[in-house]
Amino acid sequence: MRLLPAVPDTGIVFRRTDAGAEIPASWANTIESPRCTVLSNGEGITVGTVEHLMAALAGAEIDNAIVELDGPEVPIMDGSSAPFLFLIECAGLVEQDAARRAIKVLKPVSVIEEGATAALLPDHGFSMSFEISFANPLISRQDICVVFDAATFKAELSRARTFGLLDEVDRLRSAGFGRGGSLDNVVVVSGDHVLNAGGLRYADEFVRHKLLDAFGDLYLAGGPIIGRFCGVRSGHAHTRHLLAALFADADAWRYTSQGRATDFSALDPPSEMRLSGV
């Protein structure tokens, strides 16, 4: 994978170099997928597991970038957004001569599906809350509320990793998921123990990762959101359906400007970022 600079108003665009296709990172281009967020060009070309990279781009306030891949999935790295964010910061950002286009939430919008809720509410800034509940005794019930500023994502969310239960591994792999998963890129829980040698990065890493996922999925709105997100046991599909409900109601949102746009573009380091992985 490579990240390349882009001119104002490009947005985030995924380019499949092996398939000769480009897919804008938009909620309108998502397709149903049970375990991750997948973008499609409508002609059979897809890019999967975009949420961790999208979270890093949102956290770094990058408005315009081309993401080149030679396959159908973003590298998993360590299961979090931290490696992406680190390398983006190493390459550097350029402020562009254009205003950032933000989406301001004007009235409450929510989706309730299968006992889970995702909602967007009006607010003056951007904040997120999330609640999870698992039968597993280690994960159990966790909740978090984060008010975002320039440093929040890096400090509070970026290092939170994907997690899974050991007894789910065989079932997921037989269904075609998680074939590249290992203790290097997934927090694996068995009963009340974490199998990863280093343990957890945050005491409540599980709910923080769920919030990270939602943060990345929300950036598929096409820009930063001014409002408050609330998730209760929700997942990727709920967030995508929430964005669809928001944009379906013309009275629920409006565009507004928010400072200058930023471009992924290198200064002294190399003019592109290369990442490889399974």
| Greatest pairwise CA separation for the chain in angstroms | 53
CA 57 to chain centre: 9
The closest of 260, 220, 161, 245 to 30, measured between CA atoms, is 220
Q: Exposed, middle or buried: residue 77 (CB in 10 Å: 0-12, 13-18, 19+)?
A: buried
How far apart are alpha carbons 201 and 187 in whole angstroms?
Answer: 10
Is 236 assigned a catalytic role?
yes
Q: CA distances (Å), 147 to each of 103, 151, 228, 244, in order?
A: 17, 11, 9, 24
Q: Exposed, middle or buried: residue 141 (CB in 10 Å: 0-12, 13-18, 19+)?
A: exposed
How far apart are alpha carbons 226 and 256 in whole angstroms?
Answer: 9
The closest of 68, 62, 46 to 11, measured between CA atoms, is 62
Task: Point out the catalytic residue in the list 52, 209, 236, 238.
Answer: 236
The closest of 64, 55, 88, 69 to 5, measured between CA atoms, is 64
- Which residues are designated catalytic? 236
